[in-house]
Structure 1
Amino acid sequence: MGISARVDQWLRTHREKVVGWRRHIHANPELSHMEYATTDFIEGVLRDHGLEPVRFPGTGLMVDIGPESDQRLAFRADLDALPISEETDLEFASTVPGVAHACGHDVHTTVALATACALAESDLEHGVRVIFQPAEEVMEGGASDVITWGGLEGVGAIFAVHAEPKLRVGRVGLRTGAITSASDVLKLKVCGPGGHSSRPHLTSDVVYALSKVATELPGLLSRRIDPRTGTVLVFGTINAGYAPNAIPETGTISGTLRTADIATWRTNEPLVRELIGQILAPTGCTHELEYQKGVPPVLNDDLATALLADATRSIDPQAVVHAPQSSGGEDFSWYLEHVPGSMARLGCWPGEGVKQDLHRGDLVVDERSIGVGVRLFAAVVEQYGAGATDGFLAE
């Protein structure tokens, strides 16, 4: 009996237990870097199944399964919840006020946990590592910490799934290249001598300066950056002043700059600084720019994505669909800076009713997606062991 068949049999036997794991995690969400109880719970389950996980400093852990290998296959899940109030009527809704698993991380974690426990009862030709990463939802995210702690040592390739509530359960969305975007944060403070609005010539008009940045910077970027890179600047806040007849001394504007192109991401900051300086120079205002770099785009390796596609079709020939490129950020990208791999979109819409969105308190996922994710990971392990990785393993 092959690995996929064994895992499928294991799932059929332990389905209720696996769903119970997910509901426990969902009802007890924890914010980034605070996933202590979640880490304890996962460690306990893994040890109950004969595995020996290794905890990371603080929160998170990883576990190795199968023979020792310098080209392990890795799967990654993320543990943290969001500072959002849950707005569902689920019996296992969040018991923590203001915190909810509104991004599907409870599903990701359960898929990885069930995969580890099922594989523990299989004879593996290749070693497998399952990583339970803390703090995906914040910057700096937990992926960089996991890498620092040795999470990728001996890993040849890495895979992950992300819940997709706009995709029917049973479908798996795949995309070669950028499937997410980089997302940087800009916070600009503009200063100048304020004064009475009847004498603007005696001031440096901060409100006017901020308005120039808000309208001109996005346009200038669109003329300096290849539009095929999907680079978009959107301002979310602008604040200045306290009275209609007074020109303020300071004001701020902040927003996000997103791109699907990693080369553009690496050169955006100096260009933004150059253009802001040029926009503000005629106004006489001074400025301070805080430019916070986020994560690079998730760049799915072509051969790794092809392996995912083959694995998906081995479960259901009709399951593979094309995943659109997202403007959201995901720190799984940091792993792909070191080893090849791919992230898939895991359908969790039941096929009827409203298609919901991530990062909303009313998100409800179809729990059948957990089984799909576990079977997908098992099929990847089987493909990996059969030599389908030739040509893309990390050197």
Structure 2
Amino acid sequence: MNLHVRLSETRRRLHAVAETGFALDKTRNLISQLLVQEGLVPVERAGGIVTESGEGKNCILLRADMDALPVRDGKDVAYKSVHEDCCHACGHDAHMSMVYGSSLLMKEEELGGRVRYMFQPAEECPPGGALGMIESGVLDGVDMAFAMHVAPWLPFGAVGIKENIVMAAADNFKVTVRGRGGHGAMPHEAVDAVLVASHVVTGLQALASRMANPLEPLVVTVGKVRGGTAANVIADEVILEGTVRTLSTELQGKLPGWIERTAKGICDGFGAECETEYRLGYPVLKNWNSGLDVVTEAAGKVVGDKIVRMEKPLMGGEDFAYVLERVPGAFLFLGTGDEQHSYPLHHPCFDFNEEVLSVGAELLREITKVALGRL
């Protein structure tokens, strides 16, 4: 069986059993079975799977995230997720398959060092799964670390690389607005929490346009609103939940105070009360120059001149940032864009041409070989 067929079958099996967060029993079992069949010894650490191959002093880590999204699978395919409430809409099934594929390619090679494979849970839900695995010792003895993400915005088979800052810090917040309930026909006798919360949502958008330096990227998104029980009842409480994305720790540090002050000021003006919670999430993801040098050399051998040097960072978050805070390495992108697959990441119908899996596996093998050769 050739590599493309094998990895396509693996990816479809993983896609069908999509699971979220740390609740990854079927995914972990499948990954472990695949590794055992290749003579590797999978070890469970902090909800993830770790295994290693090769011999020698130096060690390269390859990371794949395992969790899916709480999104209904919108594709009409044989490998559609069997779980109605989640699917691999961010390509983590591809990441697992490519890292597994790289282990197949390197199984019989004399690498002159070791490769550690890190299958990580809960990348999609801060505080994420990377920190727990790091605390369990997954980076002990690791010299360099690499991770790759599929990218439908890049041409098929192209490798995207970015110097320095690659992705944003990703924090979450919650604002609870408390008013005074009443009859929908008698608003003067109540404090309408829905109305007040609506003004808070609007007010928070001014943080990016009027509080932050306009030359410094900032995203404040309220993605979840909960409140009210009936059409003719004025709600006494509304809960807003959102995300903040920044590219600097200085700006990141200002947001908790800005959000609290804005929400409280608006609530005070309407005679309502509010409570704010701010949860720091993933830090800014920064590539190392040494890691990029490795990726550039390896990509040239695998995809030739199909290397895209990205000028701007992405405002998405990624907990591989914790890994790159501790060891040198790089985070890169592999293009899946073509005319048949146009849906973006996190869309219920996101899919890709599975021929990219063997490209990704070969790229990870070459990255490992180049990295070990430089140590």
Please report the TM-score for the alignment, with normalisation by the length of structure 2.
0.88
Matches within 5 A, 1:64-79: 64-69=52-57, 71-79=58-66
1:117 aligns with 2:104: yes
Identity over aligned residues, as a percent? 30
**Which residue in the other structure is 2:327 paired with?**
339
Deviation at 1:136, TM superposition (A): 1.5
**Which residue in the other structure is 1:257 paired with?**
244
Moved more, 24-33 or 167-176: 24-33
**Which residue in the other structure is 1:45 paired with?**
34
Deviation at 1:132, TM superposition (A): 0.6
Deviation at 1:111, TM superposition (A): 0.7
**Which residue in the other structure is 1:308 paired with?**
295
**Which residue in the other structure is 1:18 paired with?**
7
C-alpha offsets along residues 87-139 of structure 1, whole Å, 9 cap, x if unaligned? 32333333333332221111100111111232221112222211011122222
Distance 2:13 2:147 in 1: 22
C-alpha offsets along residues 4-38 of structure 1, whole Å, 9 cap, x if unaligned? xxxxxxxx954432322222212222222222222
Counterparts in 2 of 1:234 and 1:27: CA distance versus 1, 3 Å: closer
On the 8 A contact 1:189/1:253 being kept in 2, the answer is yes
Root mean square deviation of aligned Cα: 2.7
Give 2:128's aligned amino acid.
G
Give 1:187's aligned amino acid.
K
Distance 2:112 2:128 in 1: 33
On the 8 A contact 1:46/1:117 being kept in 2, the answer is no
C-alpha offsets along residues 274-326 of structure 1, whole Å, 9 cap, x if unaligned? 34334444444321112233222322223312321221112233111134532
SS class of match (1:227): coil
1:327 aligns with 2:315: yes
Give 1:46's aligned amino acid.
L
**Which residue in the other structure is 1:292 paired with?**
279
SS class of match (1:176): coil
On the 8 A contact 1:265/1:296 being kept in 2, the answer is no
**Which residue in the other structure is 1:181 paired with?**
168
1:127 aligns with 2:114: yes
Counterparts in 2 of 1:122 and 1:252: CA distance versus 1, 3 Å: same
SS class of match (2:282): coil
On the 8 A contact 1:144/1:334 being kept in 2, the answer is yes
Distance 1:239 1:15 in 2: 46
Distance 2:226 2:332 in 1: 39
Distance 2:95 2:125 in 1: 17
Moved more, 219-228 or 97-106: 219-228
SS class of match (1:376): helix
Give 1:348's aligned amino acid.
T
1:361 aligns with 2:348: yes
Deviation at 1:328, TM superposition (A): 2.1
Distance 1:38 1:237 in 2: 29
SS class of match (1:228): coil
Deviation at 1:360, TM superposition (A): 2.0
On the 8 A contact 1:50/1:120 being kept in 2, the answer is no
C-alpha offsets along residues 353-395 of structure 1, whole Å, 9 cap, x if unaligned? 35211122222211111111112112212221221x6xxxxxx
Please report the TM-score for the alignment, with normalisation by the length of structure 1.
0.84
Moved more, 377-386 or 95-104: 95-104
Counterparts in 2 of 1:26 and 1:190: CA distance versus 1, 3 Å: closer
Counterparts in 2 of 1:244 and 1:100: CA distance versus 1, 3 Å: closer
On the 8 A contact 1:51/1:120 being kept in 2, the answer is no
Distance 1:99 1:237 in 2: 18
SS class of match (1:64): strand
On the 8 A contact 2:56/2:112 being kept in 1, the answer is no
Distance 2:109 2:83 in 1: 37
SS class of match (1:346): strand
Deviation at 1:151, TM superposition (A): 1.1
Counterparts in 2 of 1:36 and 1:225: CA distance versus 1, 3 Å: same
**Which residue in the other structure is 1:392 paired with?**
none
Moved more, 282-291 or 119-128: 282-291
Deviation at 1:245, TM superposition (A): 8.5
Matches within 5 A, 1:364-383: 364-383=351-370
On the 8 A contact 1:160/1:343 being kept in 2, the answer is yes
Moved more, 150-159 or 211-220: 211-220
Distance 1:27 1:237 in 2: 28
Deviation at 1:155, TM superposition (A): 1.4
1:63 aligns with 2:51: yes
Number of equivalenced pairs: 373
